[in-house]
Chain A
Amino acid sequence: MRIFVLVKQVPDSTEIKIDPRTGNLLRQGVAAIMNPEDRHALQAAVELAAQVGESSVTVLTMGPPQAIDVLTEALACGADKAVLLTDELFAGADTWSTSGVLARAIQHLGGAHLVLAGRQAIDGDTAQIGPQVAEALGMEQATYVQEIEYLDGELEVERRMGEHLERLCLPLPALVTVVAELNVPGHPRLDLLLLACQDRAPIEILNAADLGFKAQEVGLAGSLTEVVETFSPKSARETEFLEGSPAEMAAALLGRLKAAKLLHKGGLE
């Protein structure tokens, strides 16, 4: 079975800080990591490949050259091959454009029986790439998947749909996006990690022309949406800092809450 895993390099948003004076992002030293849910997708791919046998796991990412690091990590977690789609022309791509490039790359690389991806990336939270790649490749899809079983050329998956769970039987080829409940990803292996940093590592690098794209078909130029404005949300609230010891702060707070009629005898209603 040929399995592809879509991964994304994202800023570790838990480390991002905002300059309290200017309100700007403090980006220096913010680590770039593999999108957390993609680690679960990769783990599932490696496990499925071992279970099914005669399988390959190819991990695919589109990004700037430094996105190579997530591929290195993926190889260290057991992927067989990694492909970096990088080109200045890809910059500014929306999900329409990105999904088109990823789908074309999967075809270029021989097609897939199964594509796995994290449900969404923590820097965008769109959850759009999975279904859009599935559509572009004409595959079955299942999103929000928390359990995968492979049975004779079909997948049985369990997905979380808000208030209920669904068990689906999917024929292949299919694309599945996964949530963290699926599994516990292992740590990378040091030997594979060091191997993946070497020239002979099984990493392929493709640009727009390799995939047969013209400049105007990819990146911002090939996107259907564009960002026209960015801003830091400003709050209209007047913040009152309550000072003093914990007990003094607590007393002041309770006073304010009472005055705002938020507090009644015996606690809040």
Chain B
Amino acid sequence: MTIRIDQQSCDGCVRCLAACPYGGIDIADGKAVLNLRCTHCGTCLDACPQGAILSDAGTRRIPDFSEYRGVWVMAQQEAGGLHPVSLELLGKARELAEHLGQDVSALLLGDRVEPLVGALFAAGAQQVHLVEHPALAGYRTLPFSRAAAQVIQSQKPEILLVGATPMGRDLAPRLARRLGLGLTADCTGLEIDAQERILRQTRPAFGGNVMATIVGRYSRPQVATVRPGIMKPLPPEPGRQGRLLRHNVHIPSQDLRTTLLKTIQVPRSGVDLTSARVIVAGGRGVGNMAGFALLEELAGVLGAELGGTRVAYESGWIPHERQIGQTGVTVRPDLYVAVGLSGAIQHRAGMLDSRFIVAINKDRAAPIFDVADFALVGDFSKIVPAVISAAQEA
């Protein structure tokens, strides 16, 4: 695709500058012009009130999707039970379904998994589509893709939500490609567009420094993955009933060539940041292991768990299960103390819902201060010891 700006109709209103995620447009002599950073992505097209931004992409016809109905959630399993993210997504699905005036369904795939159906009803599913097959005992990509594709093709849901667990992120793209579906990963916000009645999917994008809202107008179901901990489950209603629909699927032997040799339980580190009430987290600015030893001391005084950013994990300062953010865990403690981390959106996406946020950073312009309740500007290696001794005296 190629973008051009019609210099005749451009009135220099600069709306396109704000829309461009790449900084690809400049204003020269009162007119918008593309610069070298323009990637011709087309995000600016709808921003121009003058219609001065042109592309060679023709207007696309949106197919008739009226027979697609229902908001579905992939019921994922973990250690014989349901993964919490499935229950969280059922909560979100209820909200979306109410806007559309449609039903909520769960898609449950496995071998002898019917005992889980009740928990899905209790968490908000009005229908459960159940597929039981010996080839579905334990997750493998191809049999699960085969089974899910067959049910989705026959039942035609409008929306499918999948938890962004390693399994969900393995399955959802495979399934979307097979069925020709648009897919948005790791959404942090989902809502129904009031006019078009399509799913608005919001996630950090373009290097994680802006939020982007994405829609899929040209395929159904609209598929989105959501990380655990982002959505809130409904209060469970034990004993709640719904419709159970069983489906038979055919899984050919060619789907079974990959074999699971063994499963190894990783010894649990005992770390569960998602339930921590207080978290002390560090980033690049902490600089080294000695810096993190100081944070650990602070965490000890505050009764907190220690966490960190992607950089902290990649630098080997914290183990992966303590990484917070878009590619780590999402947390919502009562108190979040951010030390020496700038607060890129990817990190903020994982901690923004904390009740109180304290930020310690020597760069007054760091974006973490935009989301902090209390900001301490200065060298953390001086401030943290002061906080430790103040807390010990308190």
Which residues of A approach B to under 8 Å, CB–CB?
10-11, 13-14, 16-18, 20, 24-25, 27, 36, 64, 88-89, 91-92, 94-96, 99, 120, 122-132, 134-136, 140-144, 156, 158-171, 180, 215-216, 219-221, 223-235, 237-242, 245-247, 249-251, 253-254, 256-258, 260, 262-263, 265, 267-269
**A225 contacts B214, C-beta separation under 8 Å:** yes
Give A158 Cβ to nearest chain B Cβ, in Å.
8
A-B contacts, 28 listed (Cβ < 8 Å): A10-B207, A14-B311, A88-B1, A92-B43, A94-B182, A125-B326, A128-B173, A128-B185, A131-B170, A131-B174, A132-B174, A160-B166, A161-B167, A164-B265, A164-B266, A166-B260, A168-B258, A221-B1, A226-B214, A226-B217, A227-B21, A230-B21, A241-B375, A249-B386, A254-B391, A262-B334, A262-B335, A268-B303
Chain B interface extent, by class:
35 or more
Bitwise interface map of B from 177 to 201 toward A, beta carbon under 8 Å scored 1, else 0:
1101111111000000000000011
Give B59 Cβ to nearest chain A Cβ, in Å.
10
- In Å, the complex CA distance between A228 and B208 comes to 17
Q: Let me know if B250 is at the binding interface, CB within 8 A.
A: no
Q: Which residues of B contact A237 (CB under 8 A)?
A: 357, 370-373
**B176 contacts A126, C-beta separation under 8 Å:** no
Q: Which residues of A contact B133 (CB under 8 A)?
A: none
Q: Which residues of B contact A260 (CB under 8 A)?
A: 356
**A64 contacts B258, C-beta separation under 8 Å:** no
Q: Which residues of B contact A224 (CB under 8 A)?
A: 180-183, 216, 218-219
Question: Known: A258-B394, A262-B334. Contact between A140 and B257, CB under 8 A?
Answer: yes
Residues from 356 to 390 in B contacting A, C-beta threshold 8 Å: 356-358, 364-365, 367, 369-379, 382-383, 385-387, 389-390
**B304 contacts A166, C-beta separation under 8 Å:** no
**A126 contacts B258, C-beta separation under 8 Å:** no
Residues from 240 to 280 in B contacting A, C-beta threshold 8 Å: 257-266, 268, 277-278
**B207 contacts A123, C-beta separation under 8 Å:** yes
Q: Which residues of B contact A166 (CB under 8 A)?
A: 260, 262-264
- In Å, the complex CA distance between A211 and B188 comes to 36
Give A148 Cβ to nearest chain B Cβ, in Å.
14
Question: Known: A221-B58, A253-B390. Contact between A168 and B212, CB under 8 A?
Answer: no
**A140 contacts B142, C-beta separation under 8 Å:** yes
**A239 contacts B373, C-beta separation under 8 Å:** yes
Give B203 Cβ to nearest chain A Cβ, in Å.
8
Number of interchain pairs (Cβ within 8 Å): 315
Question: Known: A125-B327, A161-B166, A249-B386. Contact between A231 and B211, CB under 8 A?
Answer: yes
- In Å, the complex CA distance between A76 and B235 comes to 56
Interface of chain B, main secondary structure: mixed
**B142 contacts A18, C-beta separation under 8 Å:** no
Which B residue sits closest to A10, measured CB to CB?
A: B207
Give A129 Cβ to nearest chain B Cβ, in Å.
8
**B207 contacts A216, C-beta separation under 8 Å:** no
Q: Which residues of B contact A241 (CB under 8 A)?
A: 369, 375-377
**B177 contacts A99, C-beta separation under 8 Å:** yes
Q: Let me know if B345 is at the binding interface, CB within 8 A.
A: yes
- In Å, the complex CA distance between A170 and B260 comes to 9
Give A246 Cβ to nearest chain B Cβ, in Å.
4
- In Å, the complex CA distance between A242 and B359 comes to 10
Q: Which residues of B contact A242 (CB under 8 A)?
A: 374-376
Q: Let me know if B39 is at the binding interface, CB within 8 A.
A: yes
**B183 contacts A16, C-beta separation under 8 Å:** no
**A221 contacts B57, C-beta separation under 8 Å:** yes
**A25 contacts B39, C-beta separation under 8 Å:** no
Q: Which residues of A contact B234 (CB under 8 A)?
A: none
Q: Which residues of A contact B209 (CB under 8 A)?
A: 13, 16, 18, 25, 232
Point out the residue from A27, A231, A238, A246 that lies within 8 Å of B22, measured CB to CB: A27
